[in-house]
Structure 1
Amino acid sequence: MLNFPKTAGSFADVLAEYQAPLGDRLPLPQPVPAAPGARDVDTHGTTVIAVKYKDGVLNVADRRATAGFTVMYDQAEKVLALDDYTLISISGSFAKSVEVVRYLRHAFKYFERSQLQPMSMEGKLMELQRVIANNVPAALQGIGAFIPVLSLFDRETNQGRIYFYDALGGQFENAEYGAAGSGSAPIRGAFEYILRTKGQFTVMDRDTALRESLTLLEIAAELDTATGGSAKYLPAAKYITADGIRDFTDDEIRAGLGR
Structure 2
Amino acid sequence: MNYQTYNPHKDLESIVKFYWTLEVPFDPKNQKQKIVPDGCIEMTFNFGDNIKRFISETDFILHPNAMVMGQRTKSFDILPTGKVDTFAICFYSIGFANFVTMPLENLVDKETPISELFGQEEAKELEQQMIRANATEERVATIEAFLLKKLNEKKTISHIVKATVDALLKTNGTTPINLLLTEGISKRRQLERHFRKQIGISPKQLSKAIRLQATLNLLLNKKLETLTEIAYESQYFDQNHFIKDFKDLVGVTPKEFLDSEHMALSALFYK
TM range (shorter): under 0.3
Normalised by the length of structure 1, the TM-score is 0.26
Higher relative contact order at CA 8 Å, sep ≥6: structure 1 or structure 2? 1
Higher strand share: 1
